[in-house]
Amino acid sequence: MRYFCCCPINYKSDFLGFLFERVFSLIIIAGYVAAGGLSNAWAESSSSHEYLIKAAFLYNFAKFVEWPAESFKDDLSPLNLYVLGEDPFGATLDSIKDKTIRGRKLAIKRCNKIEEVEGCHILFVSASEKGNMRHILNALRNSNVLTVGEIEGFARLGGIINFIITEKRIHFEINPDEAQRSKLKISSQLLKLAHIVTSESRKEKE
């Protein structure tokens, strides 16, 4: 991140330019994460690029969401990001490990069953869990967990954020009702960027 942001400024220097070339490949992922994805259009070119961006989004969501204080043990306890099911990120996710969000470290954990999820703040539900989706969402209802999915209808069915791809770009849906139910405060800015969806169950009720 450091190099990334300073380099354009100092790019005038050939030496630094050379240095930049060398280190670029090593830290490119970290850079993507920090920048929040340079171009969403890369997503379509390859699956790895798509998850690069999604990983960055996951990290950035944390910045625009506020958890209730009681969801943390204390001020120093980490923000836990869990991946449920088959991990599509691979090593990509590890690069955002140990980053801090509002003073809290980001802790990453992978699990296969919803029962293993404990003390989680952000839960990424992998596409592999499509079948268990309802079960998972029911289990997490009223649990202060920001659920993020990449399955169509995830948000409508009780998830809070869902990645979608429109016009060959990665976007996301947000279900503010579910967020409110989970006592999570989502920044209006984030909401502004999202496709707002409402719960199907609620519609049914209405």
Binding stretches for another protein (CB under 8 A) = 1-2, 4-12, 34-40, 57, 60, 63-64, 101-102, 187, 189-190, 192-193
Shortest Å, Cβ 102 to another protein: 6
In the chain, DSSP assigns E strands to 65-66, 79-84, 100-101, 104-111, 122-125, 146-149, 161-166, 169-174, 185-186, 195-196
Strand (E) or helix (H) holding 34:
helix 14-35
Look at residue 80 and give its three-state secondary structure: strand
Closer to another protein at the Cβ: 84 or 170?
Answer: 170
Query: Contact at 8 Å (CB) between 136 and 114?
Result: yes
How far, rounded to the nearest angstrom, does the alpha carbon of residue 194 sit from its chain's CA centroid?
13
Closer to another protein at the Cβ: 140 or 190?
Answer: 190
What is the pairing mode between strands 146-149 and 100-101? unpaired
Closer to another protein at the Cβ: 106 or 140?
Answer: 106
Closer to another protein at the Cβ: 46 or 138?
Answer: 46
Shortest Å, Cβ 156 to another protein: 21
Report CA-CA distances (Å) from 30 to 23, 46, 59: 11, 18, 11
Closer to another protein at the Cβ: 31 or 85?
Answer: 31
Shortest Å, Cβ 71 to another protein: 18
Shortest Å, Cβ 167 to another protein: 11
Helices (H), 65-172: 133-140
Shortest Å, Cβ 53 to another protein: 9
Shortest Å, Cβ 164 to another protein: 13
Closer to another protein at the Cβ: 22 or 192?
Answer: 192
Residues near 125 by beta carbon (within 8 Å), at least 6 away in sequence: 84, 85, 133, 136, 147, 148, 149, 150, 151, 154, 159
